[in-house]
Amino acid sequence: MELAMIGLGRMGANMAERLVRGGHTVRGYDPGEAARQQAEARGIVPHANLQNAVAALPTPRVVWLMVPAGQVVDDTIAQLRPLLAAGDMVIDGGNSNYKDTQRRGAQLAEAGIHYIDCGTSGGVWGLAEGYSLMIGGDADAVARLQPVFATLAPTPQTGWGHVGPSGAGHFAKMIHNGIEYGMMQAYAEGFAILKHKQAMDFDLGALAEIWRHGSVVRSWLLDLTADALKRNPQMDGIAPYVADSGEGRWTVAEAIDLNVSAPVITLSLLERLRSRDDDSYADKLLAAMRNEFGGHAVKQG
């Protein structure tokens, strides 16, 4: 197929290249000249403005958005809107909030434009190994886009699927990331306990390597963790500071809205918040309280 990839950052450029390798024609737009030049070197047809990229497409047009979630998506859609016609398809492959997706989808549907949400997992490894794609939106449009999804996924038949109505793809990706937080935290806690058992002097990378084969906890995350532990077992030079990109928060909020208790996913998020607060007011106040009632000395800080 022929399509435009809007946004040639790390994810967008990688996905575009995987499509090019799969025989598709990909027109790429990015406001950054360097990004466009690198894209050209990877077989993508570069465009310096969005209008030209879209105008060059055959109809029905296929436009894939790979831009930061939030306002940028709305802005990009506003720019695209006058360039598109009924029957065209816009895919949001980013980590948008599913409620935004539902709103955008309803607006574009008024003009007959199909808005497809594609939750995309795989990270920097997706170029080589393929992406896992959770797709929401109109079934007919998804069916027409089958060649694109089949190329992006690990194999034409696996790793992608239509999971529900508009927003369902981003909803599923949100939950995917919530699970990811919980799994990561479980591994991190386990290795931290092992690390603190100094009497046993575990080689964590070697142990992770053992677990990669035949154990109940084997996983792709463990494969990556084993690599990280072998290269840098002391985690030298890495601050105990864990960012979060928003989907964990949405998962926690959604769970509460649905009256589902999800303590492990929730605590995984809170631990990340805690990692970024190295001067906890709560902990200071606790120390002060202990001093108040028990006369326990506080540590000077």
Residues 145-204 that bind a second copy (CB under 8 A): 153-155, 158-161, 163-165, 167-168, 171-172, 175-197, 200-203
- Site size for a second copy, by CB under 8 A? 134
Q: Taking CB under 8 A as the rule, does residue 106 contact a second copy? A: no
Which of 21, 81, 99, 276 is in the footprint of a second copy by CB under 8 A?
276
Q: Taking CB under 8 A as the rule, does residue 251 contact a second copy? A: yes
Which of 48, 86, 124, 139 is in the footprint of a second copy by CB under 8 A?
124
Which of 126, 142, 148, 151 is in the footprint of a second copy by CB under 8 A?
126
Q: How far is the CB of 203 from a second copy (least distance, A)?
A: 7
The two tokens of residue 291 are 């001093």
Q: Taking CB under 8 A as the rule, does residue 227 contact a second copy? A: yes
What letter would DSSP give residue 1? -
Which of 41, 55, 86, 286 is in the footprint of a second copy by CB under 8 A?
286
CA gap 57, 54 in Å, rounded: 5
The two tokens of residue 196 are 């603190």
The two tokens of residue 127 are 């170029």
Q: How far is the CB of 293 from a second copy (least distance, A)?
A: 4
CA gap 80, 25 in Å, rounded: 20
Q: Are 207 and 194 in contact (CB under 8 A)?
A: yes
- The sign of the dihedral angle between the CA atoms of 95, 98, 99, 103 is positive
Long-range (24+ apart) CB contacts under 8 A made by 289-292 are none
- Give φ, ψ of 119 to 5 degrees: -65, 125
CA gap 90, 80 in Å, rounded: 9
The residue range among 34-42, 44-52, 68-76, 292-300 that interacts with a second copy, by the rule CB under 8 A, is: 292-300
Q: How far is the CB of 34 from a second copy (least distance, A)?
A: 17
Q: Taking CB under 8 A as the rule, does residue 207 contact a second copy? A: yes
Cβ-based neighbours of 7, under 8 Å, separated by 6 or more: 29, 30, 65, 66, 67, 94
Q: Taking CB under 8 A as the rule, does residue 21 contact a second copy? A: no
Helix (H, G, I), strand (E, B) or coil at 266: helix
152 bridge partner residues:
none
List residues with catalytic annotation.
173, 180
Comparison of 75 and 203: residue with beta carbon closer to a second copy: 203
Q: Taking CB under 8 A as the rule, does residue 280 contact a second copy? A: yes
Q: How far is the CB of 98 from a second copy (least distance, A)?
A: 9
The two tokens of residue 153 are 């996924």
Q: How far is the CB of 6 from a second copy (least distance, A)?
A: 20
- Rounded to a whole number of angstroms, the distance between the first and last alpha carbons of the chain is 62
Comparison of 29 and 191: residue with beta carbon closer to a second copy: 191
Q: Taking CB under 8 A as the rule, does residue 70 contact a second copy? A: no
Comparison of 33 and 189: residue with beta carbon closer to a second copy: 189
CA gap 269, 276 in Å, rounded: 11
Which of 122, 137, 148, 151 is in the footprint of a second copy by CB under 8 A?
122
Comparison of 78 and 258: residue with beta carbon closer to a second copy: 258
